[in-house]
Amino acid sequence: MRTQLEQLIQLQDIDNELLELQQERGNLPETVERLRAEIEETTHLLDLKQKEQLNAGKERRRIENEVELAKVSLKKYQDQLFKVTSNREYDAITTEIESAKAVVSNGESRIIELLGQEEELVQTCEELEKNLEEIKSDFDVRDAELQEKIAETSDTEATLKKNRVKIVEQLAKPVYAHYERIHVAKEDGMGVARVYNGACGGCFAAIPPQKQMEVASMEDFILCETCGRILVDPNSMEM
Ligand SMILES: [Zn+2]
Protein backbone atom coordinates (compact mmCIF):
# COMPACT_ATOMS: atom_id res chain seq x y z
CA MET A 1 0.00 0.00 0.00
CA ARG A 2 2.85 2.35 0.84
CA THR A 3 4.21 1.95 -2.70
CA GLN A 4 0.79 2.61 -4.19
CA LEU A 5 0.43 5.75 -2.10
CA GLU A 6 3.90 6.93 -3.07
CA GLN A 7 3.07 6.31 -6.70
CA LEU A 8 -0.12 8.31 -6.27
CA ILE A 9 1.95 11.18 -4.88
CA GLN A 10 4.24 10.98 -7.89
CA LEU A 11 1.20 10.91 -10.17
CA GLN A 12 -0.19 14.00 -8.47
CA ASP A 13 3.16 15.71 -8.90
CA ILE A 14 3.19 14.98 -12.62
CA ASP A 15 -0.40 16.15 -12.99
CA ASN A 16 0.45 19.38 -11.18
CA GLU A 17 3.24 20.03 -13.66
CA LEU A 18 0.96 19.22 -16.58
CA LEU A 19 -1.65 21.60 -15.19
CA GLU A 20 1.01 24.31 -14.91
CA LEU A 21 1.91 23.81 -18.57
CA GLN A 22 -1.74 24.12 -19.52
CA GLN A 23 -2.06 27.27 -17.46
CA GLU A 24 0.98 28.71 -19.22
CA ARG A 25 -0.88 28.27 -22.49
CA GLY A 26 -3.81 29.96 -20.80
CA ASN A 27 -6.93 30.35 -22.86
CA LEU A 28 -4.94 30.54 -26.10
CA PRO A 29 -6.11 27.13 -27.33
CA GLU A 30 -9.76 28.14 -26.84
CA THR A 31 -9.17 31.54 -28.42
CA VAL A 32 -7.52 29.97 -31.46
CA GLU A 33 -10.38 27.47 -31.82
CA ARG A 34 -12.99 30.21 -31.47
CA LEU A 35 -11.26 32.32 -34.13
CA ARG A 36 -10.97 29.31 -36.43
CA ALA A 37 -14.74 28.73 -36.10
CA GLU A 38 -15.45 32.43 -36.69
CA ILE A 39 -13.38 32.37 -39.88
CA GLU A 40 -15.34 29.37 -41.11
CA GLU A 41 -18.71 30.95 -40.28
CA THR A 42 -17.85 34.32 -41.80
CA THR A 43 -16.45 32.71 -44.96
CA HIS A 44 -19.63 30.69 -45.31
CA LEU A 45 -21.85 33.74 -44.79
CA LEU A 46 -19.81 35.81 -47.25
CA ASP A 47 -20.11 33.06 -49.83
CA LEU A 48 -23.88 33.00 -49.31
CA LYS A 49 -24.24 36.78 -49.66
CA GLN A 50 -22.02 36.86 -52.77
CA LYS A 51 -24.25 34.23 -54.39
CA GLU A 52 -27.36 36.23 -53.44
CA GLN A 53 -25.82 39.30 -55.01
CA LEU A 54 -24.96 37.37 -58.16
CA ASN A 55 -28.49 35.99 -58.43
CA ALA A 56 -30.08 39.40 -57.88
CA GLY A 57 -27.86 40.78 -60.69
CA LYS A 58 -28.83 37.93 -63.01
CA GLU A 59 -32.54 38.40 -62.31
CA ARG A 60 -32.25 42.16 -62.83
CA ARG A 61 -30.53 41.76 -66.21
CA ARG A 62 -33.12 39.21 -67.31
CA ILE A 63 -35.96 41.61 -66.40
CA GLU A 64 -34.16 44.54 -68.04
CA ASN A 65 -34.13 42.51 -71.26
CA GLU A 66 -37.83 41.68 -70.89
CA VAL A 67 -38.66 45.34 -70.32
CA GLU A 68 -36.63 46.38 -73.38
CA LEU A 69 -38.43 43.81 -75.52
CA ALA A 70 -41.82 44.88 -74.13
CA LYS A 71 -40.99 48.52 -74.96
CA VAL A 72 -40.16 47.57 -78.55
CA SER A 73 -43.47 45.65 -78.83
CA LEU A 74 -45.34 48.55 -77.30
CA LYS A 75 -43.95 50.93 -79.90
CA LYS A 76 -44.87 48.46 -82.67
CA TYR A 77 -48.47 48.06 -81.37
CA GLN A 78 -48.92 51.78 -80.91
CA ASP A 79 -47.88 52.33 -84.56
CA GLN A 80 -50.30 49.57 -85.65
CA LEU A 81 -53.14 51.22 -83.74
CA PHE A 82 -53.27 54.02 -86.36
CA LYS A 83 -53.62 51.55 -89.19
CA VAL A 84 -56.49 49.40 -87.85
CA THR A 85 -59.51 48.86 -90.03
CA SER A 86 -61.87 47.01 -87.69
CA ASN A 87 -63.04 47.22 -84.08
CA ARG A 88 -61.94 43.65 -83.49
CA GLU A 89 -58.41 44.46 -84.61
CA TYR A 90 -58.47 47.61 -82.47
CA ASP A 91 -59.49 45.63 -79.37
CA ALA A 92 -56.86 42.98 -80.00
CA ILE A 93 -54.07 45.52 -80.31
CA THR A 94 -55.30 47.45 -77.28
CA THR A 95 -55.08 44.25 -75.23
CA GLU A 96 -51.51 43.68 -76.45
CA ILE A 97 -50.62 47.27 -75.53
CA GLU A 98 -52.04 46.85 -72.04
CA SER A 99 -50.13 43.64 -71.46
CA ALA A 100 -46.85 45.16 -72.73
CA LYS A 101 -47.38 48.19 -70.48
CA ALA A 102 -47.89 45.85 -67.53
CA VAL A 103 -44.65 44.02 -68.31
CA VAL A 104 -42.80 47.36 -68.45
CA SER A 105 -44.33 48.73 -65.26
CA ASN A 106 -43.97 45.53 -63.19
CA GLY A 107 -40.49 44.99 -64.55
CA GLU A 108 -39.38 48.49 -63.69
CA SER A 109 -40.55 48.23 -60.09
CA ARG A 110 -38.86 44.85 -59.73
CA ILE A 111 -35.63 46.34 -61.17
CA ILE A 112 -35.71 49.13 -58.56
CA GLU A 113 -36.27 46.54 -55.83
CA LEU A 114 -33.38 44.38 -57.07
CA LEU A 115 -31.05 47.37 -57.40
CA GLY A 116 -31.78 48.16 -53.75
CA GLN A 117 -31.08 44.58 -52.74
CA GLU A 118 -27.86 44.50 -54.74
CA GLU A 119 -26.67 47.71 -53.13
CA GLU A 120 -27.36 46.32 -49.66
CA LEU A 121 -25.64 43.05 -50.51
CA VAL A 122 -22.55 44.85 -51.83
CA GLN A 123 -22.35 46.68 -48.52
CA THR A 124 -22.89 43.50 -46.49
CA CYS A 125 -20.19 41.67 -48.46
CA GLU A 126 -17.75 44.54 -47.97
CA GLU A 127 -18.36 44.49 -44.23
CA LEU A 128 -18.00 40.70 -44.07
CA GLU A 129 -14.76 40.85 -46.07
CA LYS A 130 -13.40 43.45 -43.69
CA ASN A 131 -14.46 41.38 -40.65
CA LEU A 132 -12.94 38.27 -42.13
CA GLU A 133 -9.64 40.03 -42.72
CA GLU A 134 -9.57 41.24 -39.11
CA ILE A 135 -10.42 37.81 -37.69
CA LYS A 136 -7.79 36.19 -39.92
CA SER A 137 -5.04 38.52 -38.80
CA ASP A 138 -6.07 38.06 -35.15
CA PHE A 139 -6.05 34.30 -35.70
CA ASP A 140 -2.57 34.40 -37.26
CA VAL A 141 -1.14 36.27 -34.26
CA ARG A 142 -2.82 34.04 -31.65
CA ASP A 143 -2.05 30.82 -33.49
CA ALA A 144 1.62 31.76 -33.82
CA GLU A 145 1.70 32.53 -30.09
CA LEU A 146 0.11 29.19 -29.29
CA GLN A 147 2.42 27.23 -31.60
CA GLU A 148 5.40 28.94 -29.96
CA LYS A 149 4.15 28.05 -26.47
CA ILE A 150 3.48 24.47 -27.54
CA ALA A 151 6.95 24.19 -29.07
CA GLU A 152 8.52 25.56 -25.87
CA THR A 153 6.71 23.07 -23.66
CA SER A 154 6.10 20.07 -25.87
CA ASP A 155 9.25 18.13 -24.85
CA THR A 156 8.53 18.58 -21.16
CA GLU A 157 4.91 17.64 -21.71
CA ALA A 158 5.82 14.50 -23.65
CA THR A 159 8.21 13.35 -20.91
CA LEU A 160 5.63 14.01 -18.20
CA LYS A 161 2.97 12.10 -20.10
CA LYS A 162 5.33 9.16 -20.65
CA ASN A 163 6.16 9.03 -16.95
CA ARG A 164 2.49 9.31 -16.11
CA VAL A 165 1.67 6.25 -18.20
CA LYS A 166 4.39 4.27 -16.40
CA ILE A 167 2.98 5.15 -12.99
CA VAL A 168 -0.61 4.49 -14.01
CA GLU A 169 0.42 1.02 -15.23
CA GLN A 170 1.72 0.20 -11.77
CA LEU A 171 -1.33 1.46 -9.89
CA ALA A 172 -4.19 -0.83 -9.00
CA LYS A 173 -7.08 -0.05 -11.33
CA PRO A 174 -9.63 0.98 -8.64
CA VAL A 175 -7.03 3.21 -6.96
CA TYR A 176 -6.25 4.98 -10.22
CA ALA A 177 -9.96 5.20 -11.11
CA HIS A 178 -10.69 6.89 -7.80
CA TYR A 179 -7.76 9.31 -8.18
CA GLU A 180 -8.70 10.16 -11.74
CA ARG A 181 -12.32 10.82 -10.84
CA ILE A 182 -11.37 13.32 -8.13
CA HIS A 183 -8.50 14.78 -10.17
CA VAL A 184 -10.83 15.57 -13.06
CA ALA A 185 -13.66 16.82 -10.85
CA LYS A 186 -11.63 19.20 -8.67
CA GLU A 187 -10.69 22.57 -10.05
CA ASP A 188 -7.19 22.34 -8.57
CA GLY A 189 -6.75 18.89 -10.09
CA MET A 190 -5.79 17.47 -6.68
CA GLY A 191 -6.82 13.85 -6.20
CA VAL A 192 -4.36 13.45 -3.36
CA ALA A 193 -4.23 15.71 -0.30
CA ARG A 194 -1.84 15.92 2.60
CA VAL A 195 -3.08 16.20 6.12
CA TYR A 196 -2.00 19.53 7.65
CA ASN A 197 -2.72 20.50 11.25
CA GLY A 198 -5.32 17.79 11.51
CA ALA A 199 -7.19 18.94 8.41
CA CYS A 200 -7.50 17.76 4.82
CA GLY A 201 -5.13 19.87 2.68
CA GLY A 202 -7.71 19.83 -0.12
CA CYS A 203 -10.94 20.92 1.55
CA PHE A 204 -9.71 21.81 5.07
CA ALA A 205 -12.20 19.48 6.75
CA ALA A 206 -10.99 18.21 10.12
CA ILE A 207 -9.60 14.68 10.15
CA PRO A 208 -10.21 12.67 13.35
CA PRO A 209 -7.00 11.79 15.26
CA GLN A 210 -7.47 8.04 14.71
CA LYS A 211 -7.64 8.63 10.95
CA GLN A 212 -4.62 10.94 11.10
CA MET A 213 -2.63 8.10 12.59
CA GLU A 214 -3.80 5.72 9.92
CA VAL A 215 -2.80 8.24 7.27
CA ALA A 216 0.61 8.74 8.87
CA SER A 217 1.26 5.00 8.82
CA MET A 218 0.78 5.04 5.05
CA GLU A 219 -0.49 1.50 5.31
CA ASP A 220 -4.01 2.06 4.15
CA PHE A 221 -5.90 3.86 1.50
CA ILE A 222 -7.70 6.62 3.49
CA LEU A 223 -10.13 9.05 1.91
CA CYS A 224 -11.25 12.44 3.16
CA GLU A 225 -14.91 11.93 4.02
CA THR A 226 -15.75 15.45 2.88
CA CYS A 227 -14.04 15.79 -0.48
CA GLY A 228 -13.05 12.22 -1.32
CA ARG A 229 -9.37 13.07 -1.85
CA ILE A 230 -6.85 10.38 -1.01
CA LEU A 231 -5.13 11.45 2.18
CA VAL A 232 -1.37 11.16 2.59
CA ASP A 233 1.11 11.94 5.34
CA PRO A 234 2.53 15.49 5.32
CA ASN A 235 6.03 14.12 5.68
CA SER A 236 5.67 11.88 2.68
CA MET A 237 7.66 12.60 -0.46
CA GLU A 238 7.56 16.09 -1.95
CA MET A 239 4.40 16.73 -3.82
ZN1 LIG B 1 -11.00 16.87 2.00
Give residue 2's pLDDT. Answer: 80
SS3 57: helix
Q: Over 90: is that where the pLDDT of 30 sits?
A: yes
pTM score, whole prediction: 0.66
**What CA–CA distances, in Å, run from 47 to 40, 51, 130, 195, 203?**
11, 6, 14, 61, 54
Measured in Å, residue 194 CA sits from the centre of ligand 1 at 9
Domain boundaries, the chain: 25-154, 174-232
CB 15 within 8 A of CB 167: no
**Cα–ligand 1 centroid distance for 227 (angstroms):** 4
Residues 233, 234, 235: CA angle, nearest 5 degrees: 90
Is the pLDDT higher at 81 or at 46?
46
| 202 Cα to the center of ligand 1, angstroms | 5
Is 1.10.287.620 the CATH classification of the domain at 25-154?
yes
- Are the C-beta atoms of 22 and 238 separated by less than 8 Å? no
Please give the helix or strand (H or E) that residue 194 lies within, else none: strand 192-196
Res. 238: pLDDT tops 60: no
From ligand 1's centre to the CA of 195, what distance in Å? 9
Kindly report the number of other CB atoms within 10 A of residue 177's CB atom.
10
Spacing, Cα 11 to ligand 1 middle (Å): 18
Q: What pLDDT sits at residue 161?
A: 97
Q: How far is the CA of 233 from the centre of ligand 1 (A)?
A: 13
Q: For residue 6, how far is its CA from the centre of ligand 1 (angstroms)?
A: 19
Q: In what order do the strands lie in the sheet with 230-232?
A: 199-200, 192-196, 230-232
Please tell me the distance between residue 8's alpha carbon and the centre of ligand 1 in angstroms: 16
- Calculate how far, in angstroms, residue 234's C-alpha sits from the geometric centre of ligand 1: 14
Centre of ligand 1 from the C-alpha of residue 26, in Å:
27
- Amino acid identity for residue 205 in this structure: A
Q: Say if CB 163 and CB 15 are below 8 A apart.
A: no
134-181 tens-digit pLDDT: 999 999 999 999 999 999 999 999 999 999 999 999 999 999 999 999
pLDDT tens for residues 177-196? Answer: 999 999 999 999 999 999 99
Ligand 1 centre distance from Cα of residue 201 (Å): 7
Give the Å distance between the CA of 206 and the centre of ligand 1. 8
